[in-house]
Amino acid sequence: MAQSGVDLEVLRTLYERERLGVREVAIQLGVSPWRVYGLMRRHGIPRRRGSEQNYATYKAKPQFALKQALSDTEVRLRIAGSLLYLAEGVKSGGTVDFVNSDPRLVRVFLAFLREVCGVAEPRLRVLLYAYADQDLVQLKRFWADVTKISEEQFVRPYVRPLRSGGNGRKMAHGLIHVRYNDTRLLKIILQWGSEVCESWAGARVANWSSL
């Protein structure tokens, strides 16, 4: 573990084995690209040359295969998943990032990603947000069971310090970010959600197609 709190083995795995670019590595670790560059320099992780980086970025780009012929159940799942994302997802940037503490909603959203969007399972990442007095090992096991995502695909958790004078309420299992780094998929999900809102509410609520 580096002094910055970034797990160097995870960094090496993402950059050297999975061949992600520095920007993608930074997103997965929740730090800036400059932090990643600095850690690589200090710990002797060689940077790829430009042509090799371009090739690696192309080869490592997260892939997905949208299901074309949807059953009635899958149509409902697409509606549910896209609306969940409008409510609880990060809408800017280039990563699908769904945030929630309710295991039921997390399961629904992951079913949407897997069954409707056809995401590549190894590309899924989970960021755990927890409190300082919670058991991180137990929480990771809990969410790994809920999501059916390997704990190896969990990035370094965010631990919130305890504060005096709070109202005493906190999430029993913390919350998680389910992430999938793909700008095109993000645009598609946001467009689906916008179309559902336009159809049911009678007005276009936003135009995210230009992201």
Q: By the 8 A CB rule, do 161 and 133 touch?
A: no
**116 in Cβ contact with 78 (< 8 Å):** yes
pLDDT per residue as tens digits for the range 74-117: 999 999 999 999 999 999 888 999 999 999 999 999 999 999 99
The pLDDT tens digits for 1-17 are: 554 577 888 888 888 77
Give the model's pLDDT for residue 207.
Answer: 52
In a domain, 17, yes or no: yes
Residues 154 and 87 in one domain: yes
Instruction: Work out how many domains the chain is built from and give that number.
Output: 2
pLDDT at 153: 94
Lowest mean pLDDT, pick from 67-71, 124-128, 176-180: 67-71
Where among 22, 37, 60 does a domain terminate? 60
Query: Tell me, what's the pLDDT at 96?
Result: 96
Q: Which region among 52-56, 94-98, 195-199 has the lowest average model confidence (pLDDT)?
A: 52-56
**25 inside domain:** yes
Residue 95 to residues 37, 61, 135, Cα–Cα distance (Å): 20, 12, 28
Same domain, 96 and 169: yes
**Which of 205, 187, 185, 103 is closest to 145 using CA atoms?**
103
Do the domain assignments include residue 196? Answer: no
| pLDDT per residue as tens digits for the range 113-157 | 999 999 999 999 999 999 888 999 999 999 999 999 999 999 989
Q: Are residues 76 and 56 in the same domain?
A: no
Do 110 and 139 belong to one domain? yes
pLDDT over 70 (residue 55)? no
86 and 133 belong to one structural domain: yes
On whether both 37 and 103 belong to a single domain, the answer is no
In this structure, the answer to whether residues 111 and 141 fall within a common structural domain is: yes
Q: Which of 44, 1, 49, 6 is nearest to 25 (CA)?
A: 6
Q: Is 208 inside any structural domain?
A: no
Q: Which residue has the tokens 């929740």?
A: 30
pLDDT score of 210 more than 60 = no
The DSSP call for residue 119 is B
Q: Which long-range contacts (CB under 8 A, 24 or more apart) does 39-42 make?
A: 39/2, 39/4, 39/6, 39/8, 39/11, 40/11, 40/15, 42/2
Helices (H), the chain: 8-12, 22-29, 33-42, 50-60, 72-88, 103-111, 136-147, 183-201
Residue 202: inside a domain: no
- Are 46 and 99 found together in one domain? no
Q: Are residues 135 and 113 in the same domain?
A: yes
Confidence of residue 163 (pLDDT cuts 50, 70, 90): confident
Is 32 inside any structural domain? yes
Any domain includes 40: yes
104 lies in the same domain as 165: yes
At 94 the pLDDT is: 85
| Same domain (yes/no): 178, 76 | yes
In this prediction, residue 50 carries a pLDDT of: 58
Residue 65 within a domain? no
Inform me whether the pLDDT recorded for 166 exceeds 60. Answer: no
Give the three-class secondary structure for 62.
coil
What pTM does this model have?
0.68
Q: Are residues 91 and 153 in the same domain?
A: yes
| Domain around 76 | 72-186
pLDDT of 165 reads: 59
